[in-house]
Amino acid sequence: MKPFFLLSLLSLTLLGSSLHARVIKVEGSDYIPEALIESLKEFAESEGDFLEVNLGGSLLAFREFYEGDADIILVAMPEKTPSDYDFPVIPLGFQIGAIVVHEKNPLDSLSQQQIGGIFGSLSENAIARWSALGLSGSWQNRNIQAAYANSGLSPILDLFSATFLESEALRSGIQEFSSSLRLESYVSNNDGAIGFIDTIPLSPDLKTLRIESSEGEISFGPTLENVNYGDYPLSLPYYICVPRSQYRFLAPYIEFLLSDSAAETLQAEGFFPLLDSRRRQLKSELPTGE
């Protein structure tokens, strides 16, 4: 009887623990890295909670959130800011795109109108030669060979189109590559080419161009500081949203998502994390206690 009694007691203990475990429902963009979700699940276990995750896209996540069926959403917000909402919205990180040329190309920056002329389909704005971008000498009469990467695994091509092409079609004749690495190889071996990729280039033979900000005049490159301060125009911000009524309860999860380890995970997956100083400030503003 004694072993049976101990087994029954253990079963009741485990049952009691499971009854008290909290289920945290997380919804979000389907581009949120799986590695981040796995680490968030481990954190939930350490808190005695269970994470229920559905990454079906930002629009679906917002719908579930407004219907009260999501506790935390991790979403892309290309057009709105935290002040547009009446619930806690905390920055998480960024995805970015880049326009690259061969390192021998003398071009250093582009205006948003020039990008539209190179890649867009409107013939009246078309830019076909490097001379139209101010290059002279041996570059003056050379044709621009434009290309873009479309892996289908990133929303940055859509952001590129909305930001620079006013959602018009890409110009016919532009070469398409199935990955940023394939495009990098093409531009690395073709000094007359220019390409759009959805990440920072890895090849030492490439140069990333600065892009004119939305206000014009000054151009910015995709540095961590420029992306965080909103100066680099080809970046897509992601945010953490929680119901105001659950803000205090979910604060430990927000703090984890703002941790050094979460930032390292995002960076390893091709995201730009928040600046360390910004994460520390955001963590200091979180509610404490139950």
Interval 97-149: pLDDT, tens: 999 999 999 999 999 999 999 999 876 788 999 999 999 999 999 999 999 99
Confidence of residue 215 (pLDDT cuts 50, 70, 90): low
Domain that holds residue 132: 98-228
Query: What is residue 217's predicted lDDT score, i.e. its pLDDT?
Result: 75
**In this structure, are 46 and 118 located in the same domain?**
no
Q: State the average pLDDT for the chain.
A: 90
Q: How far is the C-alpha of 141 from the C-alpha of 80, rounded, in Å? A: 42
Query: What is residue 47's predicted lDDT score, i.e. its pLDDT?
Result: 94
**In this structure, are 103 and 84 located in the same domain?**
no
Query: What is residue 20's predicted lDDT score, i.e. its pLDDT?
Result: 58
Residues 136, 171 contacting (CB under 8 angstroms)? no
Read off φ and ψ for residue 245, nearest 5 degrees: -70, -20
**In this structure, are 130 and 218 located in the same domain?**
yes
Q: How far is the C-alpha of 2 from the C-alpha of 23, rounded, in Å? A: 34
Residue 162 within a domain: yes
Residue 136 within a domain: yes
Residues 52, 27 contacting (CB under 8 angstroms)? no
**In this structure, are 224 and 104 located in the same domain?**
yes
Residues 144, 128 contacting (CB under 8 angstroms)? yes
Residue 41 within a domain: yes
Helix (H) or strand (E) holding 224: helix 224-228
Confidence of residue 14 (pLDDT cuts 50, 70, 90): very low
Confidence of residue 17 (pLDDT cuts 50, 70, 90): very low
**In this structure, are 119 and 212 located in the same domain?**
yes
Beta bridge partners of 170: 120
Query: What is residue 189's predicted lDDT score, i.e. its pLDDT?
Result: 96
Beta bridge partners of 147: 175, 195
Confidence of residue 18 (pLDDT cuts 50, 70, 90): very low
**In this structure, are 89 and 165 located in the same domain?**
no
Our count of domains for the chain comes to 2
Confidence of residue 11 (pLDDT cuts 50, 70, 90): very low
For the cut 50, the answer to whether the pLDDT of residue 48 exceeds it is yes
Query: What is residue 290's predicted lDDT score, i.e. its pLDDT?
Result: 53
Confidence of residue 80 (pLDDT cuts 50, 70, 90): confident
What's the whole-model pTM score? 0.88
**In this structure, are 60 and 151 located in the same domain?**
no
Q: What is the pLDDT of residues 149-187, one digit of tens each?
A: 998 888 999 999 998 987 788 888 899 999 999 999 999
Read off φ and ψ for residue 31, nearest 5 degrees: -100, 0
How many Cα atoms sit within 13 Å of 253 on the Cβ side? Answer: 29
Residue 12 within a domain: no
Residue 133 within a domain: yes
Pairing status of strand 89-96 against strand 235-241: antiparallel
Query: What is residue 289's predicted lDDT score, i.e. its pLDDT?
Result: 60
Residue 289 within a domain: no
Residues 250, 89 contacting (CB under 8 angstroms)? no
Confidence of residue 8 (pLDDT cuts 50, 70, 90): very low
For the cut 60, the answer to whether the pLDDT of residue 7 exceeds it is no
Would you state the structure tokens that stand for residue 248, as one six-digit string? Answer: 């205090």
Pairing status of strand 23-28 against strand 210-212: unpaired
Helix (H, G, I), strand (E, B) or coil at 73: strand
Query: What is residue 82's predicted lDDT score, i.e. its pLDDT?
Result: 87
**In this structure, are 152 and 265 located in the same domain?**
no
Region 282-290 average pLDDT: 86
CA 44 to chain centre: 23
